[in-house]
Amino acid sequence: MLDTFQGLPVHALIVHATVVLLPLAAIAVALAAVHARFRAWIGWIAPAAAVACVVLTQLTVMSGNKLYARFERVHGVSKDLEHHKSLAHLLIWLVIPLAVIAVASYFLHRREDASKAVLGLVGALAVASAVSVMVDVALIGHAGATSAWKPIVENTNR
């Protein structure tokens, strides 16, 4: 299912959605947790986007595993590709907490009796989680681009 679509690897198609939507969701979750006006404006969209990104991330990793297996059979695996894969497999373990924090923050901010200390802690966790997700996405993207393009650039520099 997540192997190819019209002759192209699904990973090459779906990864772009992940690279755009996941950082946007992370920023929205962090802002909603610490900024009342933004939270009032975005409402349930931030936690819903974070939960959707759990699914999107898993689909991206699954499609990447399919492409990795194809590539391994034909070309073997470089250290750059292996690094890309290991960073990508970490991402879901960063996105799940982001989604949990987003949902918790959404419901805690709706409670009249939520303490400022708890809301402050949730805000700090949301920001830390968002930053960790965005850093990993950037590292994954760099490792993926390196594994894809470095051999081509090296072979055309002669």
Alpha carbons 139 and 72: distance in angstroms, whole number: 22
State the pLDDT at residue 149. Answer: 86
- pLDDT tens track for 127-148: 999 999 999 999 999 999 998 8
> What percentage of residues in the chain have a pLDDT greater than 70?
99
State the pLDDT at residue 151. Answer: 80
Nearest CA among 8, 7, 5, 15 for reference residue 87: 15
* Mean model confidence pLDDT for the chain: 94
**158, pLDDT greater than 70:** no
- pLDDT tens track for 13-64: 999 999 999 999 999 999 999 999 999 999 999 999 999 999 999 999 999 9
The pTM of the full predicted model, rounded to 2 decimals, is 0.92
State the pLDDT at residue 118. Answer: 96
- Cβ atoms of 10 and 4 within 8 Å: the answer is yes
Q: How many domains does the chain have?
A: 1
Residue 107 is part of which domain span?
Answer: 4-156
Alpha carbons 135 and 81: distance in angstroms, whole number: 18
State the pLDDT at residue 136. Answer: 98
